[in-house]
Each structure stands twice: as structure tokens, then as C-alpha cells.
A and B are shown apart, each in its own frame.
Chain A
């Protein structure tokens, strides 16, 4: 176990050393998002490399989800730049994002409850026959294939997803994101609704996707999850990115300090500065 961990961290160290020289998969620069009088994301910059997992942590309302929604097209940024593989792009809606190979697993899963699993997996990108008719059999077949890999116990391909369990619904949402050969995957609390066995399954999947060279943004409340899976961790506080750190250079306590106080470990907060 220790050996493999060492190996993995060694591999990721070389990977990040290599990618430092190459162009990042995603670069978000000085992103600002406001809505309803709230400045939810302030001047945030973050990047992501091929085969890398970047964990995004912070309190509720720290701006993690909002920052990622700017990348997935769900709520476009007001100002700031997004570069995909070095090219500046404009993402105005989810269609734009998907074009650049950005797939998102939303926290609420964003499933149409009244439709079955294949219809949800292919929502907005249905397979059709030569005559433009929906090819439900082909979609079911493809869904069965991808599910074979994600969740072999999944058998209810014809039921509306409202009747599925939390884990099965999560599988459908993940299947939708991975089926279309995503280059960039955004996972917003992918294990929040899952039991231990299913959580382990998702973790294994994240490692596998990483091996395949996919870049993953992982939003999570669970510090241990993030520590387990991420190569780098970005901490957000009140809409700002406090710091992005390499895993292994900090402790969970350091991260917790940043989440709670919104400052780097050792750095003085406004109160302390005032006291001096």
C-alpha cells in the first residue's frame, strides 16, 4: 500500500513537473461572478493540467460551485478569461462548454426524473437514425456499455430515474459526463449522497479517469476525500482563492485554517494586524 502511494505521488510529481512546461488544460484568469447583489466570485484564478485532480474546498457560499458554473456554462462569468489548452474561449452556455470537452456532474445531478437512464445520459445529444428519429435502442445499448464499467449492478435501464436509488442516480450522472470523452471533468460533491461502498467506487473511478489523462476539478466538503484524491488543492474563502497548494506540502490542519480563517498558515489575519 505504502509502495503504491509512493509510486503514485512520484508519478504525479513527474506529471506536474512535465505539465509545468506544457500548456495547462484549463486556465481561468481573474474570474468575477455576481448575482442578486452578491459578489460570489472575486478575481479568482485557477488552472488544471492533463491527468491532474485539483480539489476545490471552502465553506458553503465560498464560491466553489459558482466558479465551476462559470466553466461549465451554467452561469457565465461577468469578467475574466478562460483558456482551454492555451486558446482563449468564450463560454456562454452549457453547449459551449461541452464543445470544449468540459463535462460536469452537478451536485443535484441535474437529471430529468421522468425519463429513463439512457434518455438522461444522452440528454441534449441524442443518437438518431438516418431519418432523424430517436434511436432509443442504440442509446440503451451504449448506456449499458458505459454502465458495465461504472456500476455493473445497474439493471434498471427502462425505469424513470426518479425510481432509482441515490447511488444509481449518481451513476447515471457520472455516465453522462464520462460517455462523451470529456477532457475536463467538473465533479461537484460527487459522493455527498453515497454510502461507503459507492464512495469507494467513485474514488476508484476518479483515479482511473486521471490515468486516462482527464483533468478533474473536484469540489468537496470532505477534506479527507480531497486529500486522498487531489494533486493540488485550492481553498476558497468569500469568493477569493486563498491559496493553491500541492498535496503533501501542507497538513489537513493548514487547509482547515485556510478554510475557516481565509488566510495562509502563518499569515496574520486582519485582527492580529490590528492588534499589532
Chain B
């Protein structure tokens, strides 16, 4: 045992290849290797489609569309990670998204104006609708979570029931009709030409993210210094900060290369009395609102998972339910909370979906449960429990959406996309479990 440890510590002589030095560099930065690998995989997929499409794929307009299409599934996947980590499953997310989506539409077209008297002139109608929608989502989540946690009915069964009956309830909400005509502010949540934060704010978001990264690095280092723990070498810290900032600012610049459509740009020019230059006015749109929402959700969910007691308990329960119970954790309430959180996320995803469509149809969110579970699993979440990260699941959603969008871009029809998605799902998990076995 000690001999082995000594051998491992001895300077590697055979491992002076560039690959080994790269491995040491990565080790010094203490990056999550799995996450890093997924980023590489995503980049490879995007580049491959770019080559196959003759360089047309990687244009800002395509990438922004792709990202907006991935947001609903990605938002839901952040919650599904916690549900799967704590050894449960939620099959009802798609139906719940559909139910809340229909509720939003009805709130704005019917319930709020007719019952409460909030007409289109009321400025915060969108916020009232959003708040009620979130309450509905949380309520359904709490109900299912209660039956699972306290009634001890398997989550697969409870949420399978939810999948069927909540989808059925959508029909009763609107008597089978699609509902259109939302509040114009609410529509912005879905993105689109007007639903973006604009060039300046996008730069601000990029700079804030960069400063946030530096703050986290400095704070982490200070914390470890305070207790005299080993810290990363300084060059590794600087490397992470520089590379991280370059990526964040690069993405902001990329988002800002997406310009307002000419018609809207001319309208803007007329309104503001700006003379239109020849070739049209180029107004950067920046990040669409759904992406901003997704960034916010990812940060908050990561914070909950890693920095809050609740998150720690979710992972502890997933790792060993008995240990969590014996540790004095209120495991029932912890499980119930994961489903409440899932319901709230379904409401946010529904807001994006409804905003994009400017309508609620009967099939909003249909089959989402499958895409969401696929995203979480491709992102490294294990059904054995206790393992999975939120950024991983978001990346997983982007990988799956890139594949679908890329194939569609090349003219593959939707059954063909499904064939590819299924194969990639299985391959990704097979590779992951092979990698895990090799690692331990």
C-alpha cells in the first residue's frame, strides 16, 4: 500500500509526452474533467456541423436560435438533476409545463381581465401571471412530492400518473382550444427580435460574469489560505481567470454579432431620428431573455446544490439514504422540496415556451420529460443516485439540441433526428460508465 503510494509520487519518467504534460496542466487547475470533456464534445459537434454545412452553421443567428430552443429543456434539466440524484424520477414535467403554459395564456386573455379586472392597460400583468403560474407549478410539485415522500409511493408511479392526468387537465382548462394573444411584455420572455437585452447590457452581463469568476477564485483562495490548506499554483489561478473571461466575453461578443432584422432596425432608426447608413443600421440584439433566464436559473440552482444545506442533503440521500436518515436529516421533507423546485422550474420553462409561441396549445411540453431526462443523463447524472451536476445537465441539453438542430440544418427530418438522439444518448452513457469504471 505505502509502496504503491510512493511509486505514484515518484517523478514520472515515461510520461514526458505532450499528452501527459497536458494532463498535469489540467490537474493543476482542478477543473471538473467531466464538464471539460462535455464542453469539448459540444465544440466538436458544432464544428462538425459547420464543416458539413459548408461554414453556414456557426453563424450568430443560428447559434442564438439553437440556444433559445434548448432553454426550456435546459431549465427543466437543472431540477431533474436533483430529482434523479435523490433516486427519484419526474415523468410529469412535460405535462406540468403544458398545464402552466395554458394557465398563463388563460390568465392573460381571460381570468385576469374578466375575473380580477386587470385589463391590458395594467402594467405588471405579466408579473402577476408569472407569480400565479409559479404558484401553480409549485403546488403540483408539492402534491406529487408529498405523495412520494410521505405516502411512500414510488416517484415513477406518481409522476406517471401526473404525466397522464395533468396532460388531460390541460384539455379541460381550455376545452380543447389553443389560446393566443398574450401580454406583449410576457412575450419578451420567449425571446425573438424584440425579446433580447441589447448590446450594452450583453457586454455588462459578460463583464459581470468575468468579475464574478475572478471574485470566486480570489475568495476561494483566501478561504483556503485562512485555514492553511494547500492552494492551486498562482499560474493556474491566472490561467483559469484569463481563459474563463475570454470565453465569457467571447460569447458576449458573439451574441452581439446578431443584429436586429432590417425592418425593425429601420423602425428603430425612424423612432430615434437616426439617419440610416447605406446597407442598413446594425443594432446588436445581444442575449435573448430566455438565455438570461437560463443563466440565472443555472447559477441559482448550482448555488442551491453546492452551497446550501438542502443541496448537500439531496446528494447525501442519493449517496446513501440510510446514512442521511441516521445523520438526522429530514429526508422526507428534502425529497418533497426537490419536487416543489421541479414544479417551479416547469413554470419558468412554460413561460419561455408560451412567450415564444405567443400562444398556448394543447401539446406544449409534450415529451419534454424524455428530453429532460436525456439531457440530465448525457450531462453525467447517474440513476444510481448521488452523482450529477447542474452545469453538466445544462450542457447535456445543449449537446442534444445541437444535434437535433444541426441535423435539421442539414435537412434530416425529425424521425431521423430522433434516431440520432437515441443513439447518442446510449453511447454517451455507455462511454460515461466505462470511464467511471476505469477511473475507480
Contacts and interface: CB of A to CB of B under 8 A. Distances in A.
A94 B312 contact: no
Given A132-B308, A133-B307, A134-B308, A110 B322 contact: yes
Interface residues of A, number: 33
A18 B56 CA distance: 89
A163 B436 CA distance: 12
Given A112-B315, A124-B329, A125-B328, A137 B226 contact: yes
Interface in A98-152: 98, 104, 106, 108, 110-115, 119-120, 123-126, 128, 132-134, 137-138, 140-141, 144
A93 B330 CA distance: 10
Contacts of A106: 326
Interface size class of B (residues with CB under 8 A): 20 to 34
A115 B313 CA distance: 10
A41 B193 CA distance: 72
B310 to A, nearest CB: 10
B308 A133 contact: yes
A162 B385 CA distance: 14
B318 interface: yes
Contacts of A95: 328
B17 interface: no
B437 to A, nearest CB: 13
A125 B329 CA distance: 9
Nearest to A128: B309
A138 B223 CA distance: 9
B270 interface: no
Interface in B81-136: none
Given A134-B309, A137-B229, A110 B329 contact: no
Contacts of A93: 328
Contacts of A104: 326
B311 to A, nearest CB: 8
Interface in B286-309: 306-309
Contacts of B312: 115, 119, 123, 126, 134
B45 interface: no
Given A119-B316, A134-B307, A140 B323 contact: no
Nearest to A176: B327
A223 interface: no
Contacts of A74: 325-326
B227 interface: yes
Nearest to A173: B323
A115 B226 contact: no
Interface string B197-236: 0000000000000000000000000011011010000000
Interface of B: 1, 223-224, 226-227, 229, 306-309, 312-313, 315-316, 318-320, 322-329, 386-387, 440
Given A74-B325, A113-B319, A134-B308, 15 more contacts: A104-B326, A110-B320, A112-B320, A115-B312, A119-B316, A123-B329, A124-B324, A124-B327, A128-B309, A132-B309, A133-B307, A134-B306, A134-B307, A140-B227, A144-B227
The 4 closest A-B pairs by CB, nearest first: A124-B327, A112-B319, A114-B319, A114-B386
